[in-house]
Amino acid sequence: MSIRYIEETKHLILETKNSGYHMKIDHLGYLQHMYYGPKPGQDNLSYAFRYYDRGFSGNPYDMRYDRTYSLDSMPQEYTSFGVGDFRVNSIAASCSDGSRCAEFKYVSHEIVNGKYSIPGLPSVYDDEGKAQTLIVTLIDNAANMGIKLYYGVFEDLDIITRSAEIINAGSEMVWLRKASSMCLDLPYGNWDLIHFHGRHCMERQVERINMFHGVHTFISGRGMSSHQQNPFIIICDHDATEDSGICYGMMLMYSGNHKTEVERDQFESVRVVMGLNDDRFRWELEPGTSLHTPEVILTCADGLTELSHNYHRCIRNNVVKGKYKLSHRPVLVNNWEATYFDFTEEKLLEICGIAKDLGIEMFVLDDGWFRNRKDDNGGLGDWVVDTDKLPEGLGGLISKVKGMGLKFGLWIEPEMISEDSDLYKAHPEWALTAPGRAPMMARNQLVLDLSNDEVHEYLYDTISGLLRDYDIDYIKWDFNRPISDVYSHSTPSARQGEVPHRYYLSLYKLYDRLTTEFPDVLFEGCAGGGGRFDAGMLQYSPQVWCSDNTDPVARLAIQYGTSFGYPSSSMGAHVSASPNHQTGRKTPLSTRGISAMAGTFGYELDLTKLTVEECGEIRNQIKRYKDIEPVVHGGRLYRLSDPAANSRYYCWEHVSQDRSRCILSVVVTDPQANYTLVHVKLKGLDPDAMYSVGGEFECRGRTLMQNGYTFPQLTGDYPAQQLDIIRI
């Protein structure tokens, strides 16, 4: 059993293969957090927290004569608010009497086999029945509010999930102003904080800082998980490395507005609160109703590599769903960077003919295929094929592409609407726009109000109609602007604070309907590139376009940061033209291939402009990728270089689960005259097995891990090398 309750000491203990999570119901009914870390066994860990007078921290009324007992210093599982804990709180609400405080105490708990699910929200699932669930109920009798804390324990995955259900147990209205998914207190330690910031075309850049006193806040209020702050952080020992040191990962499984607060308080304790962004959030809880918060995926590991492996394993096997979660993904070519909006059917078919000859498996038609879409100023919302570009319609093009032996994919941006569209003219109230105010525009488009049931049904009918009427194998689902002017014309004024979250409840429902009805279609998420790269999207889209930046050198930093939480199988990555369209950088085709092979593989260039030599190289790249894909997508990833310490090169390896094969890759980003050769120590091999190293020599795994491997001198512009290390 991975969940235990010890009646004598009122302890609840969660255990995974390598970690333990302890909490305690104290004598006043507060649910205290005792411990999260390497597995300590069943010992009573109450001794670790000492009670003493904290100096004007305040005491609950029942302990008014004991100044050592204070909520302001006590580690808690989910905080009360407004009653004496002055650190960041998990929840905030207004009651019908105007009060803004609540004191939650333990009522009961339940241990059940299997993993809980969250109504309307994606969550980690348990197909094999190995997980267990703990549900702890807390209540504040004065405010008539209840909270159910959900803990899912995946013992073999070293994963614990958390979510909260906030309940109005009274007869009067409650207005939620903050609803977090989890609170985690770490009373002791010298911690570093790692987060993943960025911008369009430069997502998930790694930043590691030693925590200062005060509150670090990481948010997105952009209507998506965002390019700027991914909903994923790591707290680790100050001296933690890839290979050792306690590391805690916290990943919010949500694609909308989110907020993470990390506070280092006056007593050196660290608290992490993660959940919905409370800026402009206001949720009416009618009597007898509840709100479920998004799920947080927690893991505790020895070193950053182990932490990443835990997340990769969890996402591949227990987050991603459907036909493509573990199977081969077609090698594709997308016409966007080849033609942008300016294409004809003849041009597309010319690209397809070359693609088939090269070994590419799927053609994807990107933006510009529908009426009134000569540029990005119109057409969104109508989704009627442009017969000037495609005289025989979409069906005619698909028939010809399929006749060449290729699969067919299609780009859509269904959540958006152009003012210059028939849909907007018929239903301007379907767009998110504030009354009496000219809206902010981005790419000259607006966002449809998915919280409106009519909009939801329109989008379902439109997308399902495309998938029923045409033989489509793949959908690239884009989302190309942040959400502003958030006002729903179908929602009462008093409930406008619910619209951003209701938007995502509707989006997840839409995705669920479509992926259930069309299980053979591969969906790829996209939001101006990597603006919605999160575990929530990965429930429905096995892969997400990692970034609009297809420069192979810039991509190394993006893929490096992404790899801390997300597996290679989730990263959409393509070979593009040189010079690159975003940066103007010139790179060898071999380097572009090696960089893209670290994710899901494809091409984003005009195949009709290739030389004979380039065509031959691409044929070999595709054969190579298909050969190594099972290792890249299903194996373990090891980061062998740290760009913060050495910016000269990126080096990584993928090792098969049985350790029989290793794919070692390096890209030199700063070649120098008479430079020190790239030397790396390999990881993850069988120490006692003999390996053939690139056909160059044979060596034991132990030697390669302890003594390392030295690459030959790599010269020229951004040289790269990839080699096989095969167990013999």
Which residues are CB-neighbours of 318 under 8 A, at least 6 positions away?
Answer: 124, 125, 126, 127, 154, 157, 159
Q: How far apart are CA 512 and CA 531, in angstroms?
A: 20
Q: CA nearest 80: which of 186, 178, 213? A: 178
Question: 679: which strand partners?
Answer: 710
640 phi/psi in degrees, rounded to 5: -100, 0
Q: Label each residue of 487-544 as H, E or C.
A: CCCCCCHHHHHHHHHHHHHHHHHHHHHHHHHCCCCEEEECECCECCCCHHHHCCCCEE
- Provide the terminal-to-terminal Cα distance of the chain, rounded to the nearest Å: 40
Q: CA nearest 467: which of 409, 533, 384, 428? A: 409
Q: What token pair was written down for 520?
A: 């053979």
Q: How far apart are CA 694 and CA 715, in angstroms?
A: 19
Would you put residue 691 in left (φ > 0), alpha (ψ -120 to 50) or beta? beta
Q: What token pair was written down for 624?
A: 């190579």
Q: How far apart are CA 679 and CA 179, in angstroms?
A: 49
Q: Which of 77, 185, 534, 617 is catalytic?
A: 534
Active site residue 534: yes
Q: Which helix (H) or strand (E) holds 45?
A: none
Q: Which helix (H) or strand (E) holds 400?
A: helix 393-403
Q: How far apart are CA 52 and CA 44, in angstroms?
A: 20
Question: 205: which strand partners?
Answer: 197
CA distances from 568 to 308, 309, 364, 600, 631 (A): 11, 11, 21, 7, 10
Q: From start to end of 187-245, where are the E strands?
A: 191-199, 202-210, 214-220, 229-237
Active site residue 717: no
Residue that has been written with the tokens 């994710």 in this structure? 599
Q: How far apart are CA 290 and CA 566, in angstroms?
A: 31
Residue 623, class by beta-carbon neighbours within 10 Å (0-12 exposed, 13-18 middle, 19+ buried)? exposed
Q: How far apart are CA 343 and CA 385, in angstroms?
A: 14
Q: CA nearest 243: which of 560, 570, 638? A: 638
Q: CA nearest 137: which of 176, 169, 105? A: 105
Q: What token pair was written down for 639?
A: 């980061």
Q: Which of 422, 485, 614, 686 is catalytic?
A: 614
CB neighbours of residue 670 within 10 Å: 10
Active site positions, annotated: 534, 614
